[in-house]
Structure 1
Amino acid sequence: METVDHAAVTLERGIVGDFRGAMKGKPYRRQVTLMERGDWEAATAEVGHVIPWEERRSNLLIDGFDLPQVRGIRVRIGDDVVLEITRETDPCERMEVLADGLRAALLPDWRGGACAMVITGGTIAVGDEIRIER
């Protein structure tokens, strides 16, 4: 995993540089994964560990915004990027390698994050505003 302070986002590739974001079938519903900082911290606290968020392997860490837990809702990040929430991100077995019980701690209330597909590409950066697209 590599953390960056800005990234290009495209319809064809998701977050440029992330091999999982490339279109695989149409429509590909897991181009970008998002996770709330508070959810990660709650889950890791529940299992009694402090684990860097990057270990979850989500694309974007969201802070100060309650991600919608509804398929089809669109969120705008910064001026240009629009993502559509497609489903909950399922925590994988790798979470158990990080800490016993972490996978289960990520299951309630979409704590493991949300998957999204790109509707409108552009550039995003740390500190960009995120909001529901109306």
Structure 2
Amino acid sequence: MSNGRVVSVACDGAHRFSKRAVPAIEVAAGLGVKGDAHEGVMVKHRSRVAVDPRQPNLRQVHLIHAELFEELALKGFSVGPADLGENITTCGIDLPTLPRHTLILIGHDVALEVTGLRNPCAQIERFKSGLLAAVLDRGPNNELIRKAGIMSIVKGGGVVRPGDQIHIEMPPQPHLPLERV
């Protein structure tokens, strides 16, 4: 299934909320984005390191669909690529609806495996007041819907650039819903 493309890529070697848009990023299998603060086999997210630094890093690459920025603009927020700390901004794919273990194939070499949802935290609220509530919603059964992107691990490394085509490879049934990681 081919229905998306890369809009922007970003990286930051320090643990800051927003990242810097760059012309290209290199991802390494089992590690993540080279030079990014979240690169590594073991967890790098500060709150998760505090709990147990021996946890596997299920948050190597953060992706957000650009359509979220359009939705947020309708709510009065000006947010663009890299602002919410994502490494890859996409368009044409409803990322939060993908099941766990979906493969996101980018260009000729890169393969990312979806691990779960980004759990929006207080940093989003500090970035822009009211934004945390704007990236959360409630479903028909009052379930919490997180819209701040998805997390993945790198299965196949390579270079990712804006304009690269994205192909989605669904995992075998039964599909597992995304949970926060």
CA shift for structure 1 position 44: 4.3
Query: 2:120–2:146: 8 Å Cα contact kept in structure 1?
Result: no
Q: Which has the larger radius of gyration?
A: 2
Mapped to 2, the partners of 1:27 and 1:85 lie a distance apart of: 14
Give the TM-score, by structure 2 length: 0.67
* Partner residue in 2 for 1:36: 65
Q: In the alignment, residue 19 of structure 1 is paired with which amino acid?
A: A
5 Å-filtered alignment, 1:1-134, equals: 1-24=19-42, 25=54, 27-46=56-75, 48-67=76-95, 68-108=97-137, 109-133=145-169
Query: 2:102–2:168: 8 Å Cα contact kept in structure 1?
Result: yes
CA shift for structure 1 position 98: 2.7
Runs of 4+ in 1 over 6 A off after TM superposition: none
- Equivalent pairs counted in the alignment come to 133
CA-to-partner distance for each residue in 1:18-70, whole Å, 9 max, x for gaps?
02121114642100000000113313432x12133322011111022222431
Query: 2:77–2:131: 8 Å Cα contact kept in structure 1?
Result: no
Structure 1 unpaired stretches of 5+: none
Q: Tell me the SS of whatever aligns to 2:154.
A: strand
Query: 1:13–1:23: 8 Å Cα contact kept in structure 2?
Result: yes
24-33 or 116-125, which deviates more: 24-33
| Identical positions, percent | 31
Q: In the alignment, residue 128 of structure 1 is paired with which amino acid?
A: D
Q: In the alignment, residue 41 of structure 1 is paired with which amino acid?
A: E
Structure number having the greater helix percentage: 1
Q: CA RMSD in A?
A: 1.8
